[in-house]
Amino acid sequence: MPERSRLERTFFRLEAQHACLTWAFSEIAARPGPVLELGLGHGRTFDHMRRNLPGREIWVFDRANDAYEDCWPDPDHLILGEIAETFPAFASRVAGKVVLANSDIGYFASGPSRQNAQLAARLLPPVMAPGGIIMSDLDLDLPGFETLPLPAGARPGTYYLYRRPL
Protein backbone atom coordinates (compact mmCIF):
# COMPACT_ATOMS: atom_id res chain seq x y z
CA MET A 1 0.00 0.00 0.00
CA PRO A 2 1.48 3.41 -0.91
CA GLU A 3 2.26 5.94 1.78
CA ARG A 4 -0.64 8.22 2.62
CA SER A 5 -0.73 11.59 0.92
CA ARG A 6 -0.44 14.74 3.00
CA LEU A 7 -4.16 15.34 2.39
CA GLU A 8 -5.02 11.86 3.69
CA ARG A 9 -2.78 12.25 6.74
CA THR A 10 -4.38 15.61 7.56
CA PHE A 11 -7.92 14.33 6.99
CA PHE A 12 -7.38 11.18 9.06
CA ARG A 13 -5.77 13.20 11.88
CA LEU A 14 -8.69 15.64 11.99
CA GLU A 15 -11.19 12.79 11.82
CA ALA A 16 -9.44 11.09 14.75
CA GLN A 17 -9.14 14.32 16.71
CA HIS A 18 -12.89 14.92 16.37
CA ALA A 19 -13.70 11.38 17.50
CA CYS A 20 -11.31 11.67 20.45
CA LEU A 21 -12.73 15.05 21.49
CA THR A 22 -16.29 13.72 21.36
CA TRP A 23 -15.26 10.78 23.54
CA ALA A 24 -13.26 12.97 25.95
CA PHE A 25 -16.07 15.49 26.41
CA SER A 26 -18.33 12.74 27.73
CA GLU A 27 -15.53 11.35 29.93
CA ILE A 28 -14.94 14.67 31.71
CA ALA A 29 -18.53 15.95 31.77
CA ALA A 30 -19.01 15.31 35.49
CA ARG A 31 -15.45 16.18 36.51
CA PRO A 32 -14.46 19.71 37.48
CA GLY A 33 -11.15 21.10 36.33
CA PRO A 34 -9.50 23.14 33.62
CA VAL A 35 -8.72 22.08 30.06
CA LEU A 36 -5.50 22.82 28.16
CA GLU A 37 -4.84 23.27 24.46
CA LEU A 38 -1.18 23.14 23.42
CA GLY A 39 -1.06 24.54 19.91
CA LEU A 40 -3.78 27.02 18.97
CA GLY A 41 -3.05 27.02 15.25
CA HIS A 42 -6.04 28.52 13.45
CA GLY A 43 -8.25 27.93 16.49
CA ARG A 44 -10.56 25.27 15.08
CA THR A 45 -10.01 22.80 17.93
CA PHE A 46 -10.25 25.52 20.57
CA ASP A 47 -13.51 26.75 19.01
CA HIS A 48 -14.88 23.19 19.12
CA MET A 49 -13.81 22.82 22.75
CA ARG A 50 -15.39 26.04 23.96
CA ARG A 51 -18.66 25.25 22.17
CA ASN A 52 -18.83 21.76 23.70
CA LEU A 53 -17.50 22.68 27.13
CA PRO A 54 -19.42 25.86 27.99
CA GLY A 55 -18.33 27.41 31.24
CA ARG A 56 -15.17 25.31 31.36
CA GLU A 57 -11.88 27.15 31.84
CA ILE A 58 -9.72 26.47 28.76
CA TRP A 59 -6.09 27.61 28.72
CA VAL A 60 -4.42 27.90 25.31
CA PHE A 61 -0.70 27.99 24.49
CA ASP A 62 1.04 28.84 21.23
CA ARG A 63 3.86 30.95 19.82
CA ALA A 64 1.47 33.48 18.32
CA ASN A 65 -2.25 33.97 17.83
CA ASP A 66 -2.77 32.84 14.24
CA ALA A 67 -6.40 31.86 14.83
CA TYR A 68 -9.33 32.95 12.74
CA GLU A 69 -10.84 35.99 14.44
CA ASP A 70 -13.99 34.11 15.45
CA CYS A 71 -11.79 31.41 17.06
CA TRP A 72 -9.71 33.66 19.32
CA PRO A 73 -9.49 32.57 22.94
CA ASP A 74 -10.21 34.99 25.75
CA PRO A 75 -6.96 37.02 26.07
CA ASP A 76 -6.80 36.15 29.79
CA HIS A 77 -6.57 32.44 28.87
CA LEU A 78 -4.21 32.73 25.89
CA ILE A 79 -0.54 32.35 26.73
CA LEU A 80 1.74 33.33 23.85
CA GLY A 81 5.41 32.50 23.42
CA GLU A 82 7.50 29.37 23.21
CA ILE A 83 5.61 26.68 25.12
CA ALA A 84 8.86 25.39 26.61
CA GLU A 85 9.26 28.79 28.28
CA THR A 86 5.67 29.87 29.03
CA PHE A 87 4.22 26.58 30.28
CA PRO A 88 6.57 25.96 33.23
CA ALA A 89 5.82 29.43 34.65
CA PHE A 90 2.08 28.68 34.37
CA ALA A 91 2.03 25.03 35.51
CA SER A 92 1.85 25.68 39.26
CA ARG A 93 -1.55 27.37 38.75
CA VAL A 94 -3.13 24.12 37.58
CA ALA A 95 -0.82 21.43 39.01
CA GLY A 96 -2.78 18.21 39.49
CA LYS A 97 -6.08 19.78 38.33
CA VAL A 98 -6.27 19.44 34.53
CA VAL A 99 -8.95 16.98 33.39
CA LEU A 100 -8.23 17.23 29.64
CA ALA A 101 -5.16 18.35 27.71
CA ASN A 102 -4.98 18.36 23.93
CA SER A 103 -1.45 18.53 22.59
CA ASP A 104 -1.58 19.36 18.89
CA ILE A 105 2.01 20.47 18.28
CA GLY A 106 3.20 17.89 15.77
CA TYR A 107 4.63 18.52 12.32
CA PHE A 108 4.90 16.34 9.27
CA ALA A 109 8.70 16.58 9.74
CA SER A 110 9.95 13.97 12.17
CA GLY A 111 12.73 16.00 13.85
CA PRO A 112 10.57 18.82 15.26
CA SER A 113 7.79 16.34 16.04
CA ARG A 114 10.11 14.19 18.16
CA GLN A 115 11.24 17.27 20.07
CA ASN A 116 7.65 18.40 20.61
CA ALA A 117 6.59 14.92 21.75
CA GLN A 118 9.37 15.02 24.34
CA LEU A 119 8.30 18.52 25.39
CA ALA A 120 4.63 17.53 25.83
CA ALA A 121 5.60 14.33 27.69
CA ARG A 122 7.71 16.39 30.08
CA LEU A 123 5.28 19.29 30.66
CA LEU A 124 1.85 17.67 30.88
CA PRO A 125 2.10 14.92 33.54
CA PRO A 126 2.57 17.28 36.54
CA VAL A 127 -0.57 19.26 35.72
CA MET A 128 -2.89 16.32 35.09
CA ALA A 129 -5.56 15.40 37.64
CA PRO A 130 -6.05 11.78 38.64
CA GLY A 131 -8.11 10.31 35.80
CA GLY A 132 -7.11 13.23 33.57
CA ILE A 133 -6.91 12.59 29.83
CA ILE A 134 -4.15 13.63 27.46
CA MET A 135 -4.93 13.67 23.75
CA SER A 136 -2.05 14.08 21.34
CA ASP A 137 -1.32 14.14 17.65
CA LEU A 138 2.06 12.64 18.61
CA ASP A 139 2.82 9.34 20.30
CA LEU A 140 4.01 10.31 23.79
CA ASP A 141 6.19 8.41 26.24
CA LEU A 142 4.23 8.85 29.48
CA PRO A 143 5.40 6.46 32.21
CA GLY A 144 2.65 5.83 34.71
CA PHE A 145 -0.12 6.78 32.27
CA GLU A 146 -2.47 4.28 30.67
CA THR A 147 -2.54 4.23 26.87
CA LEU A 148 -6.19 4.14 25.84
CA PRO A 149 -7.75 2.65 22.72
CA LEU A 150 -9.01 5.12 20.16
CA PRO A 151 -12.77 5.56 19.88
CA ALA A 152 -14.72 4.45 16.82
CA GLY A 153 -14.00 6.68 13.86
CA ALA A 154 -10.32 7.18 14.68
CA ARG A 155 -7.71 5.33 12.68
CA PRO A 156 -4.71 3.88 14.56
CA GLY A 157 -1.60 6.03 14.44
CA THR A 158 -3.50 9.27 13.77
CA TYR A 159 -4.12 10.39 17.36
CA TYR A 160 -3.23 9.09 20.81
CA LEU A 161 -5.06 8.95 24.15
CA TYR A 162 -3.61 8.59 27.64
CA ARG A 163 -5.09 8.67 31.13
CA ARG A 164 -3.48 9.33 34.49
CA PRO A 165 -4.60 6.57 36.86
CA LEU A 166 -7.08 7.52 39.59
Other C-beta atoms lying within 10 Å of the C-beta of residue 69: 7
Contact 41, 61 (CB under 8 A): no
pLDDT score at 154:
95
| Distance of alpha carbon 39 from alpha carbon 115, whole angstroms | 14
Contact 106, 159 (CB under 8 A): no
Residue 121 neighbours by CB under 8 Å, 6+ apart:
140, 141, 142
Pairing of strands 146-148, 160-163: antiparallel
Count Cα neighbours of 83 within 13 Å in the Cβ-side half-sphere: 23
- How far CA 7 is from CA of 11, 14, 108, 127, in Å, comes to 6, 11, 11, 34
pLDDT score at 15:
96
**CATH numbers and ranges of domains, the chain:** 6-163 (3.40.50.150)
pLDDT score at 116:
85
Q: Is 137 exposed, middle or buried (0-12, 13-18, 19+ CB in 10 A)?
A: buried
Q: What is the mean pLDDT of each run of 10 residues along the chain (166 residues)?
A: 84 95 98 97 96 97 94 96 95 97 77 81 97 96 97 94 96
| Distance of alpha carbon 118 from alpha carbon 127, whole angstroms | 16
pLDDT score at 47:
97
